[in-house]
Amino acid sequence: MRLVGGRLLAVVCAPALVLTGCGGPTQGSPIASGDASTKSTTVAAGPEPFDPCTIPKSAVTASGLDVSTERPDFAGIGTYPGWKNCTWDGPSGKPWYYLAVMSSKNSIDEYLNSPQNDRQVPVRVGSRDAVRYHAPYQSDLPDGCDIALDAGGNLIIFKLDTIGSEETVGDPCREVSRHASDLEAFLPK
């Protein structure tokens, strides 16, 4: 059960859902427009974000993650418009955490300026500038830790959280930093 990720998803998605439901009811009967022809409109799709599931399985295993648990989702949601995700559980046996690597074409600055991403600390991940931060659902004694960085125009988020009600066995920020450093070489330049 990954309830923590679901709460995060609710925090991230709530504003979009509110904005899409702002229209009021429409009065009267529908009236056809004067043009009965059908026109086809093509909208060019923007570039796709990096797919974290393309990180080599050998690198994922070398980082200490259980590659047999790989899933192309976050919090049980496989598709979220504009995002690509890949999640692995920690070391096999009885893992206490999972690592999600999330990718989007969104701006890292815009993402980090959101009030939900507080307690930001500049860090280095390999040769890249990055920011470690906590989301609102993560307590002062963190049961999770996140790192965001830019990789070739992609916002990349390394999100480490405890699995369900598992006890936090180590330091989540140390673990997410280690995994981010191990996997950084496989991100876009």
Instruction: Summarize pLDDT for 96-107 with one digit per residue, the tens.
Output: 999 999 999 999
| Domain count across the chain | 1
Residue-level pLDDT at 44: 46
**Residue 15 included in any domain:** no
Q: Compare 113 and 11 and report the one with higher pLDDT.
A: 113
Local confidence band at 178 (pLDDT 50, 70, 90 cut-offs): very high
Q: Read off the pTM.
A: 0.74
Local confidence band at 118 (pLDDT 50, 70, 90 cut-offs): confident
Residue-level pLDDT at 143: 80
pLDDT at 35 over 80: no
**Residue 89 included in any domain:** yes
pLDDT at 46 over 70: no
**Residue 20 included in any domain:** no
**Residue 129 included in any domain:** yes
**Residue 72 included in any domain:** yes
Domain that holds residue 177: 46-186
**Residue 28 included in any domain:** no
Residue-level pLDDT at 157: 97
**Residue 121 included in any domain:** yes
Local confidence band at 136 (pLDDT 50, 70, 90 cut-offs): low
Overall average pLDDT of the 153-175 stretch: 90
CATH code of the domain in which 126 resides: 3.40.1000
Q: Compare 73 and 2 and report the one with higher pLDDT.
A: 73
**Residue 82 included in any domain:** yes
Q: Could you give the CA distance from residue 85 to residue 97 in angstroms, rounded to a whole number?
A: 16
